[in-house]
Amino acid sequence: MKARLKNSRGRTRIGLSIVVAGALALGLAACSGGGSSTSGLSGSTLKMYTWIGGKADRQQWSDYIAGGKHADPKLSVSFSGPPINDYYTKLPTVMRSSSSPCLVTFQNGRVNSYVQGLEPLDDLAKKNKVDLSAYSSAMLEQLSVDGKLYALPFNAGPNVIFYNKKLFKEAGITDPANNWTVDDFIAAAKATTKNGVYGFAIGQGSTPISTFMAADGHPYADKNGAKLDDPNFRDALQLLVDLSNKYKVAKPLEAAAGGTFPDIDAFSTGQAAMELEGLWDLQHEQQTLGKDNVGIAVVPSKSGTSKGFISGSGFGITKTCGDKQKAFEAIEAMTSKSALEFVTKSQASVPARLDALDAWSANAGSPAFTAVIKQMTGDATPSPVPSNQAQLDTLLTQYEVNAFSGKNSVPEVLQQVKSGLGQ
């Protein structure tokens, strides 16, 4: 799917950030009504509003519903919605309409801006005796606001390093170990930078910064927003700039063309030996470069003990839903161990439940992949998603190119971003 946001489970890039920012302006104050007894249902069928960009998305939601039926044969859920680039724009209006759904979905933990229209799930989880410890703790924290849980996670998309095995072999580089360090990573990038190929492709916005920070256990944000004054934030951006300007192993970032992802393109076309990306992109890269030619590795850390950065998705319940108990039973079923084990047979996404990872591992068919994913999901650095995440990505993408061009230093760039955010 070259038309970008290739896969709805993919990380939120700048194009989506802009539409999310537009959605926030619509407000959610009117979403807090109680709803009628039939609101969000069609007969006994729960209505779910989600992103649908094509066949792959329809198959994804069909799989989760079918998986949920394994856990609860009475489950009945229908779904509808626009493509992902329109989803967050329309969501506020849909949530406060007279025909609002019972269920909604969120990617990358982005519930913060919509909590006024969402039902907290803690009491429902307790009432239904749901063992939340079975889910990724990092995902639960990411889907919570002010200590309240607003969505049950169904997948946990850890960011990893994709690497081109053929280019590594040609450079005499062994596959990365799960305890490799930033120095090891730079050495591999140097060895594979030749013949017009860069060792690494740098992505735009906050994703690479937050992921490198998380690898050493440093969250990129707290309840007050992005930690732009944190030295670890500065160091992560400086590392990216150094990969280009100091080590000459990456192409410098340039002004972004709307909707384009040069890092994915560079890796997919063999012009870069490595990229940092969410696991959602695995199938695309395998189809492009060959299944046996794409390896995945943990994100390198300074210490050699890498922690994961997870950007997964979850099911939430609207405040207007006429039967919140029925709605909770549905999302409990669709995120159950048996449901996620069913889903892993056809979906590449990593389940958000730790007890379903073995099923994913069996379907992934690679012990090496299994070890990477278990490390990235089992030991992840929890980080909240700032309510101004969209604006953060917009400003970072706008100003970070100045650090690569030498126009501004990294501290100056971060100050520009900070000023833009009004911090």
Q: Confidence band (pLDDT; 50, 70, 90) for 216?
A: very high
Kindly state whether residues 111 and 245 are assigned to the same domain: no
* H helix runs in 84-204, sequence order: 84-95, 122-127, 137-142, 165-170, 182-192
Across the chain, mean pLDDT equals: 88
Domain containing residue 224 = 159-309+388-421
Task: Mark whether 305 and 315 lie in a shared domain.
Answer: no
User: What confidence tens digit (pLDDT) does each residue in 179-208 have?
Assistant: 999 999 999 999 999 999 999 999 999 999
Give the whole-angstrom CA distance, residue 301 versus residue 276: 13
Question: Is the Cα dihedral 54, 158, 88, 417 positive or negative?
Answer: negative
CATH number of the structural domain spanning residue 151: 3.40.190.10
Torsion of CA 302, 408, 277, 298, to 10 degrees: 0
User: What distance in Å separates the CA atoms of residue 389 and residue 17, rounded to the nearest whole number?
Assistant: 8
What percent of the chain is predicted at pLDDT more than 90?
65
Q: Give the whole-angstrom CA distance, residue 182 versus residue 186.
A: 6
CA distance 350 to 281: 12
In this predicted model, what pLDDT tens digit does every residue of 322-372 receive, in sequence order?
Answer: 999 999 999 999 999 999 999 988 776 789 888 888 888 787 767 888 889
Structure-token pair, residue 286: 């395998």
Q: Residues 51-80: pLDDT tens digits?
A: 998 888 999 999 999 999 999 999 999 999
The burial class, CB within 10 Å (0-12 / 13-18 / 19+), for 180 is buried
Contact by Cβ (8 Å): 143, 314 = yes
Q: Is residue 221 in some structural domain? A: yes
Distance of alpha carbon 107 from alpha carbon 41, whole angstroms = 23
In a domain, 3, yes or no: no
Number of separate domains in the chain: 2
Residues 256, 394, single domain; the answer is: yes
Alpha-carbon Rg for the chain, nearest whole angstrom, is 21
> Is residue 4 in some structural domain?
no
Q: pLDDT-based confidence at 95, cuts 50/70/90?
A: very high
User: Residue 1 domain-assigned?
Assistant: no
